[in-house]
Structure 1
Amino acid sequence: MDTATVPVIGFIGFGEAAFHISNGLKNAGIQTIHAFDVMADDPNAGVMIKKRMETAEVHKCNYLEELLENSDIIFCATSAKFALSIAQQAAKAITKDKIYVDLNSASPSTKKEVATAIGTAGGLFADAAVMAPVPPHGHKVPMLVSGSGALQFAALMKTYGMDITFINEQAGSSSAMKMFRSIFMKGFTSLLLETLSASYQAGVDKEVLASIQETLSGSTLEELANLLITRTAIHAERRVTEMGEVVATLNEMKLDSTMSQATKTKLQNIVHMDLKNYFGGKVPANYSDVLEAIEELSKIK
């Protein structure tokens, strides 16, 4: 299929994300959208699903095979725990001219298994990592895509306003990027919550925020990584002691210290690796030097 041909879209699962993406695609010029949801005829959950289908002017398919037969691009928008089993079922009916797009927040290994199932059946696969909440953005929600059909999928759907960034042809790459980014984003939020819970109770939350802002401002994230990670490799032992005092203080205040305890544990692991001795007591130049050292020392142990 070339970009001049209007693709027929199919959704496996028609929850909130599928509904908002469908609405956007309809307004952008996609004429026909099919949807199959195993809960569509459920007396309780089915009421909302059918209402969404009617609102988005989506054709309800009664069987998965019906959707696969009549759609050019198939989005799977169900749940990570069902991603592989649905793909294996879809593989029984998918043909080589179809692009199967998995939107589920599944692990890279699951996406690779999905890609194998679809690819073995002759279909093309796109591992799509959704990088923001869908409702505010609709079909324009930012996505990272990888896999055998990712480039073709991006070329087709950018025509209709979708915000798609092609990563590579390896299934799992997009999901890996989303997952590893979440370590920071969710972890940062949790750290911020623990930091502010304590500083607010102590009446210094504004001052603490201003101090952190001063440290973070004016540097790129890579520059901060080069500063913070390299120095931690050398000064981890002292920082373990400091975090021990932090944990004790939070406990005295009767506040949760989960993140601080985890930080202390992470730093203690660095001490056990003896990175300070590995680098001869000198701060390395780049964060990647630390990562390479950790990988090397981990293999030795």
Structure 2
Amino acid sequence: MIIAVLGLGEAGRLIAADLVAAGVTVRGFDPKVAPPPGVHPAESDADACRGARVVLSVNSAADAVDALRAALPACEPGAIWADLNTATPSLKQLLSTEAAGAVDVVDVALMSPVPGKGLCTPMTMAGAAASRLADILAGLGADVLVLDGPVGTAATRKLLRSVFYKGMAAAVVEALTAARAAGLEEWLRGNIAAELIKADAATLDRLVEGSSKHAVRRREEMAAATELLAELGVTPRIAPAARDLLGDLSA
């Protein structure tokens, strides 16, 4: 079996190396990065895809459509085009439209960082050929969950999770930056760690219900926090966003 990997950055490189270790013939292409040991170098997207049963597109959302267009004439009929890029559902759907049935597009979302996991990174996938792709990758050691839904379903779940997880990370970074400016970083870091440790399923309900119930008071609190950050010389971004959201909840 031949699998093509388009994009040999951090994620693509690790996944390609694990596929080689699993006994797969892997062809890789990246205009800026040499393939890892064991991956057969290709001269272009199209060159990598010739004879491939599966194509893993792991370049970037910005390059996803161009990669498909460039490779499509070389793809085998019935080949699976798996888009692993973090992209909007609409872009994943555009890929399916562009393919026009020449390849079977599967929307794949990587649900945790790839370093340390490689091919075993948890993946969700959707689309008519998702079960077929899941059978192939699971047989090679991948951690796969097939979702019931069209192309774009996996991307929707990933990005909704990103609003929470990456938003929380941004709030932590902003808070610690301000704490550092105030000479209180060690105290706040310990406070945040303690809150994360004691969080449980009920914490979610308290966050949601409390935001609505105490929206007026909390909006004023975040308005004051926004002013504090500015006084400390830290550009406030997350704090005013929280202030405005709480304002909407109190209206």
Q: Is residue 2:3 matched to residue 1:9?
A: yes
Tell me the residue number matched to 2:20: 26
182, 185, 203: which one aligns with 2:165: 185
Q: Describe the SS at the equivalent of 1:144.
A: strand
Tell me the residue number matched to 1:82: 63
Tell me the residue number matched to 2:43: 62
Tell me the residue number matched to 2:125: 145
AA at the equivalent of 1:219: D
Shift of 1:104: 1.4
TM-score, length of structure 2 as denominator length:
0.87
Counting only pairs closer than 5 Å after superposition, residues 1-301 of structure 1 correspond to structure 2 as 7-30=1-24, 32-37=25-30, 39=31, 45=32, 48-49=33-34, 52=35, 55-118=36-99, 120-200=100-180, 201-203=182-184, 205-206=186-187, 209-210=190-191, 213-214=194-195, 217-220=198-201, 223-272=202-251
Q: Describe the SS at the equivalent of 2:27.
A: strand
TM-score, length of structure 1 as denominator length:
0.74
Task: Map Cα deviations across residues 43-79 of structure 1 (whole Å, 9 max, x no partner).
Answer: xx4xx41xx2xx4222233354443331001111222
Matched length? 250
Distance change in 2, residues 1:258/1:207 (3 Å)? closer
Distance change in 2, residues 1:156/1:266 (3 Å)? same
How far apart in 1 are the matches of 2:9 and 2:199?
A: 42
AA at the equivalent of 1:133: P
How far apart in 2 are the matches of 1:131 and 1:196?
A: 26
Q: Describe the SS at the equivalent of 2:50.
A: helix
Task: Map Cα deviations across residues 132-183 of structure 1 (whole Å, 9 max, x no partner).
Answer: 3323222222222111211111111111111222222411111122212111
Structure 2 unaligned segments of length 5 or more: list them.
Answer: none
How far apart in 2 are the matches of 1:266 and 1:85?
A: 37
Q: Please say which structure displays the higher CA radius of gyration.
A: 1
Shift of 1:82: 1.6
Distance change in 2, residues 1:98/1:247 (3 Å)? same
**Cα RMSD (Å):** 2.4
Q: Which moved more, 1:136-145 or 1:100-109?
A: 136-145
How far apart in 1 are the matches of 2:230 and 2:146?
A: 47
8 Å Cα contact 2:4/2:52 also seen in 1: yes
How far apart in 2 are the matches of 1:216 and 1:197?
A: 21
8 Å Cα contact 1:22/1:56 also seen in 2: no
Shift of 1:219: 2.0
Shift of 1:232: 1.9
